[in-house]
Structure 1
């Protein structure tokens, strides 16, 4: 990019966010071919990348389709119309899905080498055929519904992510095709059916192959020949009436409507009659022919626990030594000094135990907590209910708009209300994304507050695989700000905070002030340096501000997990910016912002923040977010000198972005460093464990998850 384009504010200074997301999923997929990752964990990466694609189609592609239908010609920051974006995205997504197919084919061979086999039903030994026949009659036949597709039997509803086997039904006497049949695969049935083990060999057959093999039992008197498997993805975005009288009821209706969203993507592995495609309402461009297997995400069912040699060595997070020193008394620990907990290396149980102690402590008067995502059997929820039953005032802010967790949060809200918790849903116009707990306790003749600020969700399950930071404090300014921010959420009053910056009002201007201060340090002959860690960087104004800072001589290092629209290393624009991404055993999720304040990083004088917010327009302008300053000396050193230093110097799990937007692996160098291994080993050592896991290049994601909005 020429310097002339810099002055003209050329759109090419931005990378398309949709393509940036696909680049992230490509990095996840690449881990499925990483030879330093155990085989079944590589299989997990393949599954995660496929699950991520579902969400991409259901939300991002669906959004572009909606723009086209609405006749929008509004260009993206990188200068593309919705039609141009859709064409480019479809091409790139199809390339990624082809890669998934190729990798799956290679993995089948590798699994075979480890005596994990995907068997052809037709070629099974007669003993296996007998077992499978009984299995079909007892386990499958009662729950399968054979359908014929004709005017009296319309096409059945298939949920998003649902799969169906299409059959050509023939008259056995004439061999003439009579009509089409369809069997929708029930969601609760396993896609891979495990056969009885034979000679220490683990064997599976595919559900659709079993149904095809025994199709005559579903369609007596007819010959049934497999035509194709199909799998569809629907538009899953939810439209909420923000002026509704009852937000919960309105949202419940919207979530139910989503189930019948338009079909946005169709995968098939054979021949599907055109009239069926038309009935599904799928455009030609939204049909993808896969050569090997639809629904690659299902391969996670092959991750068997009885082959631990093909999995990562189990790791269990530790309790911080400072908490143990105080015999598990969190209030005493926090009073002594602010507490930083680095998940998952240090267990999320610290948050659970903090809440349980608050629930059981007779001196605790009230508990307030924001809930964005949590598990269905969450001990966090149990602790809140226990607190209510102990007579404490408990308020839970439950965010209904946590994408794909809406139904779970509706159920959670209703359940908490029936148990006596005061439930609020925040502000209709602003999604509450801040992660906060406030506990008020009577200590002597005064009230003492304790706050927890987090970068991640209060979700015990994802906390085992997401890297996040928990910060416990009784700092007067921080606990008072926490109380005021809760009052904003519940009472809609604009808060005046002392230390914490919050969206939608003060995070953006605070970040602008901090970046410009680094530029001023450079102008005065002092070092100017910024370290940023986040999930996504796509906000145009903040990216332009970073470009301006780089041109002023500020050195900027960004560790971003997913989407990044900033283009680093471009002469005249961003020469002083480096963009890195860590993909490994854990999903990077923490948000940390460090500003040198006239010193080289890391420095005790640096201005340091943790946050719930990524650098996206929605996080800056349309959400309730918290950005918390870290001024406690030890907490500051723990986050900046250890967590951030290791992140920016990782060489075994990191990728670096090139000026043209491509990503390449960082060379290991003479002193290879894996962030995930380092933190596991450090936490284990501090907990007195000797046998620590060490993977030369661990892995990542979603879990679900990786792509889930958090």
Structure 2
């Protein structure tokens, strides 16, 4: 069948997005199993795997359960109903959870012990250690505990989202048994409680440390909470609730207050999942499930500690030999701390690739703007800022220095709402113009504009990025940032800010692609252009690097390109709904994913365009939510030397990785890239660390 006549709405051409996500998280688990990582880094990956799974249930599984309750029949492009997806999720997760358990008990725990990091069972503590824990319990833990009974006079207690609890069975003098619950106060005390040494002291270093789980200390002292009763048994458990709560913007007279209320409601969302210790009695398990309305298929018995995301606590240990070797990010000479960033940007565009390049020049860009008497205004979008933000502090300084400052803070950034609310209030108190987003859209674009008065008139300086203005994540996420004073980009950015802060409606931009207005349309046009070029000259080539590929229209366009003979390389770190390697449809498409030390977060869209090559960077993945429901920006790299650095060095290194790359196949499975005999292994992230700055210097 001719490519023009082929139908691309066949469900068999698409991989289900939820099942694809599970495969991505399996890659994270693989990193925990990878012995090439330092020991504590493996623990970190196991913690990330668990945290990812928590969010998956809170958002994606809860959404499918809502569809099932409401009888929503519209299926995704792959054709699976909500019920079918829930069944498949459960089936796929069981072996992953077993692998998680084996990784912890059979590999990491013994190796931690070999390195002097011991996680002890309470019953195995020495008498001296138990005495220390007794004092700790009586003096600090006991006063904050609240045992909640459940019987005819006590309603079933409310259990908040992701809280760790003990389910307890007690017996009175008549032999009657009762159920009770105690919440483990993990927000007040560390989950892993450090045990004093045998002499009662605590070491000044972490060469030998011992921990016991907080819930085990509480379980060992339940007789104090239930005097006069016999404690029969106790079991840790945790529930996950629906956290994907919608904000009714049209009904919200005060969006800030409304978001605060929604954040509070998140802890009370409908239960989605129950995790219980594998030894929990069936009767207690049934009681929890029936009272919380959670089906048996969503009750998971685990042998590993409930709530393994808490293992991230171990990363705070001062054991550098058990962590990745630190490195000093590169800083271009003309962006050093003592250099004038505006002069540097006037000389040429600057492209930074974090974390290999330092994020400090981005902070300095705003700090210098805050202190420069010629700067008139600063405008910025903030999505995930993080605590103790140097960016926000620089904005505050700018306002104190009399600059006009406008900050669009996206209050609806999931799980960062509270943090963003705090920064919004702090900035407002200083007189910053704070905007909370756009009705019915999330603002995900990463933009900063500085307006400066110069001898030849007003000039706009811009920073456009693929990642958030977050100094902490910039050390562990790979992202690009472009600094430019290009007038055309400046006009587009100014118009976009006018849309974000006012009522301007712009349908076309001179140099930027902007969602929801133009990104999908322009991406499809450029793919069609590549198809036409392939038919006339046979040199069509597309390279896309992103976090997720879900949008059906974009996938269909890539299928058409492949069917026409265009070579397509896709590097999709997370969800990929496209099936590569299908004869006659996607046999010219190669899909790979890198999961390693850093989170691959950059978005790069390359079009060969008959040798007149284009590179676009930005905040947008090819997903319906990004293209239709968010304000996103893709920006061109027009400086020929910077463009060459991306095309000739960075993309080939990424696509040439043979160590951390997984290749996607037509059946939806991944495999490690096969090594070639005699070939030197290529770890793209390690190469970029070793050559940091070189890709920049050699092209400038």
Displacement of 1:642: 2.1
Which residue is 1:264 aligned to? 272
For residues 273 and 218 of structure 1, the distance between their equivalents in structure 2, rounded to whole angstroms, comes to: 22
Q: TM-score, normalised by structure 2?
A: 0.93
For residues 197 and 78 of structure 2, the distance between their equivalents in structure 1, rounded to whole angstroms, comes to: 55
Which residue is 1:37 aligned to? 37
Counterpart secondary structure, 2:93: helix
Displacement of 1:5: 12
For residues 525 and 3 of structure 2, the distance between their equivalents in structure 1, rounded to whole angstroms, comes to: 26
Asked if structure 1 preserves the Cα contact closer than 8 Å seen for 2:101 and 2:302, the reply is yes
Asked if structure 2 preserves the Cα contact closer than 8 Å seen for 1:165 and 1:226, the reply is no
Mapping of 1:400-549 within 5 angstroms? 400-495=411-506, 496-549=508-561
Asked if structure 1 preserves the Cα contact closer than 8 Å seen for 2:9 and 2:77, the reply is no
For residues 197 and 5 of structure 2, the distance between their equivalents in structure 1, rounded to whole angstroms, comes to: 64
Which residue is 2:689 aligned to? 680
Displacement of 1:98: 2.3
Q: Check if 1:361 corresponds to 2:372.
A: yes
Asked if structure 2 preserves the Cα contact closer than 8 Å seen for 1:532 and 1:594, the reply is yes
Which residue is 1:588 aligned to? 600
For residues 68 and 5 of structure 2, the distance between their equivalents in structure 1, rounded to whole angstroms, comes to: 29
Q: Deviations over 1:283-327 (max 9, x none)?
A: 222211113321122222233523222111123323222313x93
Counterpart secondary structure, 1:440: strand
Asked if structure 2 preserves the Cα contact closer than 8 Å seen for 1:537 and 1:566, the reply is yes
Asked if structure 1 preserves the Cα contact closer than 8 Å seen for 2:645 and 2:696, the reply is no
Displacement of 1:686: 9.3
Structure 1 unaligned regions, length at least 5: 600-604, 689-710
Structure 1 residues 320, 668: closer, same or farther in 2, change over 3 A?
A: farther
Which residue is 1:154 aligned to? 155
Counterpart secondary structure, 2:689: helix
Q: Check if 1:253 corresponds to 2:265.
A: no
Which residue is 1:639 aligned to? 646
For residues 436 and 683 of structure 2, the distance between their equivalents in structure 1, rounded to whole angstroms, comes to: 41
Which residue is 1:701 aligned to? none
Counterpart secondary structure, 2:180: strand
Mapping of 1:163-562 within 5 angstroms? 163-171=164-172, 176-188=175-187, 189-197=189-197, 201-244=208-251, 245-269=253-277, 270-271=280-281, 272-324=284-336, 327-495=338-506, 496-562=508-574
Structure 1 residues 265, 381: closer, same or farther in 2, change over 3 A?
A: same
For residues 527 and 22 of structure 2, the distance between their equivalents in structure 1, rounded to whole angstroms, comes to: 29
Identify the range of structure 1 (377-386 vs 59-68) with the bigger mean alpha-carbon deviation: 377-386
Q: Deviations over 1:266-297 (max 9, x none)?
A: 01111225333322232222211113321122
Structure 1 residues 116, 187: closer, same or farther in 2, change over 3 A?
A: closer
Displacement of 1:374: 0.4
Which residue is 1:611 aligned to? 618
Structure 2 unaligned regions, length at least 5: none
Q: Check if 1:573 corresponds to 2:572.
A: no
Which residue is 2:117 aligned to? 116
Identify the range of structure 1 (99-108 vs 394-403) with the bigger mean alpha-carbon deviation: 99-108
For residues 466 and 57 of structure 2, the distance between their equivalents in structure 1, rounded to whole angstroms, comes to: 27
For residues 120 and 425 of structure 1, the distance between their equivalents in structure 2, rounded to whole angstroms, comes to: 48
For residues 272 and 598 of structure 2, the distance between their equivalents in structure 1, rounded to whole angstroms, comes to: 31
Displacement of 1:212: 1.5
Which residue is 1:68 aligned to? 68
For residues 44 and 618 of structure 2, the distance between their equivalents in structure 1, rounded to whole angstroms, comes to: 29
Asked if structure 2 preserves the Cα contact closer than 8 Å seen for 1:481 and 1:500, the reply is yes
Structure 1 residues 444, 458: closer, same or farther in 2, change over 3 A?
A: same
Asked if structure 1 preserves the Cα contact closer than 8 Å seen for 2:331 and 2:357, the reply is yes
Asked if structure 2 preserves the Cα contact closer than 8 Å seen for 1:454 and 1:468, the reply is yes
Displacement of 1:393: 0.8
For residues 412 and 400 of structure 1, the distance between their equivalents in structure 2, rounded to whole angstroms, comes to: 10
Higher relative contact order (CA 8 A, sep 6+): 1
Counterpart secondary structure, 2:142: helix
Q: TM-score, normalised by structure 1?
A: 0.92
For residues 488 and 269 of structure 2, the distance between their equivalents in structure 1, rounded to whole angstroms, comes to: 46
For residues 247 and 304 of structure 2, the distance between their equivalents in structure 1, rounded to whole angstroms, comes to: 39
Displacement of 1:181: 2.5
Counterpart secondary structure, 1:314: coil
For residues 290 and 2 of structure 2, the distance between their equivalents in structure 1, rounded to whole angstroms, comes to: 48
Identify the range of structure 1 (367-376 vs 182-191) with the bigger mean alpha-carbon deviation: 182-191
Counterpart secondary structure, 1:75: coil
For residues 521 and 285 of structure 2, the distance between their equivalents in structure 1, rounded to whole angstroms, comes to: 57
Q: Deviations over 1:324-347 (max 9, x none)?
A: 3x9321101100100011111112
For residues 139 and 453 of structure 1, the distance between their equivalents in structure 2, rounded to whole angstroms, comes to: 49
Structure 1 residues 541, 224: closer, same or farther in 2, change over 3 A?
A: same
Aligned positions, number: 680
For residues 104 and 394 of structure 2, the distance between their equivalents in structure 1, rounded to whole angstroms, comes to: 43
For residues 171 and 145 of structure 2, the distance between their equivalents in structure 1, rounded to whole angstroms, comes to: 20
Q: Check if 1:657 corresponds to 2:664.
A: yes
Asked if structure 2 preserves the Cα contact closer than 8 Å seen for 1:212 and 1:224, the reply is no
Structure 1 residues 292, 433: closer, same or farther in 2, change over 3 A?
A: closer
Counterpart secondary structure, 1:598: helix
For residues 162 and 65 of structure 2, the distance between their equivalents in structure 1, rounded to whole angstroms, comes to: 19
Which residue is 2:627 aligned to? 620
Displacement of 1:597: 1.1
Asked if structure 1 preserves the Cα contact closer than 8 Å seen for 2:479 and 2:602, the reply is yes
For residues 110 and 5 of structure 1, the distance between their equivalents in structure 2, rounded to whole angstroms, comes to: 58
For residues 114 and 696 of structure 2, the distance between their equivalents in structure 1, rounded to whole angstroms, comes to: 38
For residues 133 and 54 of structure 2, the distance between their equivalents in structure 1, rounded to whole angstroms, comes to: 31
For residues 668 and 38 of structure 1, the distance between their equivalents in structure 2, rounded to whole angstroms, comes to: 23
For residues 277 and 263 of structure 1, the distance between their equivalents in structure 2, rounded to whole angstroms, comes to: 10
Identify the range of structure 1 (476-485 vs 122-131) with the bigger mean alpha-carbon deviation: 122-131
Asked if structure 1 preserves the Cα contact closer than 8 Å seen for 2:3 and 2:560, the reply is no
Asked if structure 2 preserves the Cα contact closer than 8 Å seen for 1:655 and 1:665, the reply is yes
Q: Deviations over 1:110-167 (max 9, x none)?
A: 2223232222211222121222222222232222222322233333332211110112
For residues 536 and 349 of structure 1, the distance between their equivalents in structure 2, rounded to whole angstroms, comes to: 28
Counterpart secondary structure, 2:471: coil
Displacement of 1:439: 0.4
Q: Deviations over 1:648-681 (max 9, x none)?
A: 1111111111111101111344021111111111
For residues 464 and 152 of structure 1, the distance between their equivalents in structure 2, rounded to whole angstroms, comes to: 53
